[in-house]
């Protein structure tokens, strides 16, 4: 809960209990406290913003006004009211904690962070998701970048337009869209449209690709940290495969994700994402020469580009590492390696793969299959072969000096912001803040080594995070 919410909750619930069970009611104090509550509601709405999780607490003054004169002298009524108010208190306090307006940790680098967005249209590609046969592929990107610590600016919201994103997450996660409304109140550490730090002439570039049904902001915990250490990060929304894409003109494209299944379909579809990344790389070259915002002219070191991604975006990062000479190193966060098959000799360029403990645990996979047994539309052997193929592809990718990292208590969504959305999205025993710290530490050292020629103190990281399984 946020500060004003906490103050209001203490006042509202305290008055609720006291007014019902105090032997003597002081109306002057009650009216004074009710007035204070109404003031706090107004202040909280203006300063912190309304959210549905606070509704039970918002209605306390109304409840008190109408029911303050209820006589609870009878024992049975007193017991009933006590139980009711206790249950109400539990629900009223729990909701804001279960679906919090969370805060991202302050980035640890020497720079503050700036952010801005662009919309690019690829006039050489048709948009296959749209019915219009002449529609061109349009992409939205968001850039995070280093700025001076003394820079002043307006901080960007986590999500600028929550409605399309909430609808997309509803389709992706099969949860009511209202559960995500509070994300519009989450603040970031990124300032809008401020100037890139002049401390260095240019900065290496990292491309970020979300997972299927994800969105470009889904790893804000990571992109802000990397930007604070001197990287320009470009997050791509893969239009219609993202939960929603918000373009710079305010329009949006909601998810139309095709129900892809099996390696053949997913191997084929990833070419769309590869073309997206290639196109964005081309546009960055133009932006580096002529930026209408006058932010990035000659500020991007396009000779030092890395890529990282989650899930399908992680698989895309590996494909781009193999196929595009501009990508010098890549990090895959728990992504099955769809796309062109990797030879047993491995990938020729630096690669690091994060694995969720549950994602590579065969017993966990079997348990999931057994739980979904009645809903499986294919023979069990099909899923067994999928597991074998997934394992083989991962082993091939790591064969030529790749680094594999397994983080305890993690599953697929642990490598995103999602566990911060609600404790329900975290695994038993998982500390999302710690997991994010580990991801940031290893990712930063990996890219620092390969793009900035800094030492890669892998053994020091192993000691610092002794519970993490690292294989080279």
Give the domains, in start order, of the chain with CATH numbers: 3-98 (no CATH), 112-471 (3.40.50.1820)
What local confidence, expressed as pLDDT, does residue 225 receive? 98
- Tell me, what DSSP letter sits at residue 424? G
Q: What is the pLDDT of residues 240-253, one digit of tens each?
A: 999 999 999 999 99
Q: Which among 325, 332, 319 is positioned nearest to 305, based on CA atoms?
A: 325
> Predicted confidence band at 69 (pLDDT cuts at 50, 70, 90)?
low
How much is the average pLDDT of 140-157?
97
> Predicted confidence band at 116 (pLDDT cuts at 50, 70, 90)?
very high
On average, the pLDDT of the chain sits at 93
223 pLDDT more than 70: yes
Integer Cα distance of 187 and 48 in angstroms: 10
Tokens 């529609």 appear where?
Answer: 135
**Please, which residues bridge with residue 188 across strands?**
none
Integer Cα distance of 23 and 60 in angstroms: 20
How much is the average pLDDT of 307-320?
98
Complete DSSP assignment for 152-209: --PEEES-S-HHHHHHHHHHHH-S-GGGGGGGGG-EEEEEETPPPPTTSS-EEEEEEE
201 pLDDT more than 70: yes
> Predicted confidence band at 133 (pLDDT cuts at 50, 70, 90)?
confident
């Amino acid at each position: 809960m946020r500060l004003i919410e906490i103050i209001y909750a203490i006042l509202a619930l305290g008055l609720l209990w006291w007014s019902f069970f105090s032997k003597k009611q002081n109306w002057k104090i009650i009216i004074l406290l009710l007035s204070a509550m109404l003031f706090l509601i107004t202040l909280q709405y203006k300063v912190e913003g309304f959210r549905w999780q606070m509704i039970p607490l918002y209605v306390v003054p109304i409840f008190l006004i109408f029911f303050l004169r209820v006589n609870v002298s009878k024992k049975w009524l007193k017991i009933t009211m006590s139980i009711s108010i206790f249950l109400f208190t539990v629900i009223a306090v729990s909701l804001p904690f279960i679906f919090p307006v969370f805060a991202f940790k302050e980035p640890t680098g020497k720079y503050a962070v700036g952010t801005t967005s662009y919309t690019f249209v690829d006039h050489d590609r048709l948009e296959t998701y749209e019915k219009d046969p002449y529609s061109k592929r349009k992409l939205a990107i968001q850039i995070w970048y280093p700025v001076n610590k003394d820079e002043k600016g307006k901080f960007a919201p986590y999500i600028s337009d929550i409605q399309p994103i909430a609808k997309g997450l509803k389709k992706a996660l099969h949860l009511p869209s209202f559960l995500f409304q509070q994300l519009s109140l989450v603040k970031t550490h990124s300032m809008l449209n401020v100037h890139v730090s002049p401390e260095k002439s240019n900065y290496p570039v990292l491309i970020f690709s979300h997972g299927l049904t994800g969105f470009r902001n889904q790893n804000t915990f990571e992109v802000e940290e990397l930007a604070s250490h001197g990287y320009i990060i470009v997050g791509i929304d893969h239009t219609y495969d993202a939960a929603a894409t918000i373009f710079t003109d305010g329009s949006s494209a909601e998810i139309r994700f095709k129900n892809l299944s099996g390696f053949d379909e997913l191997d084929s579809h990833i070419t769309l994402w590869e073309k997206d990344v290639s196109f964005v790389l081309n546009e960055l070259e133009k932006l580096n020469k002529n930026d209408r915002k006058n932010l990035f002219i000659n500020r991007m070191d396009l000779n030092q580009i890395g890529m990282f991604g989650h899930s399908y975006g992680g698989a895309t990062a590996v494909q781009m590492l193999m196929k595009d000479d501009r990508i010098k190193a890549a990090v895959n966060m728990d992504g099955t390696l769809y796309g062109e098959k990797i030879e047993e000799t491995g990938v020729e360029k630096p690669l690091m793969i994060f694995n969720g403990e549950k994602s590579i645990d065969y017993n966990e996979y079997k348990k999931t299959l057994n739980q979904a047994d009645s809903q499986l539309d294919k023979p069990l052997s099909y899923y067994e072969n999928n597991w074998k193929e997934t394992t083989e592809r991962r082993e091939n990718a790591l064969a030529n000096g790749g680094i594999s990292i397994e983080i305890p208590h993690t599953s697929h969504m642990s490598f995103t912001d999602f566990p911060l959305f609600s404790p329900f999205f975290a695994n038993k025993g998982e500390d999302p803040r710690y997991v994010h710290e580990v991801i940031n530490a290893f990712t930063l050292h990996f890219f620092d080594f390969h793009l900035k020629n800094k030492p890669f103190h892998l053994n020091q990281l192993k000691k610092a995070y002794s519970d993490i399984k690292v294989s080279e």
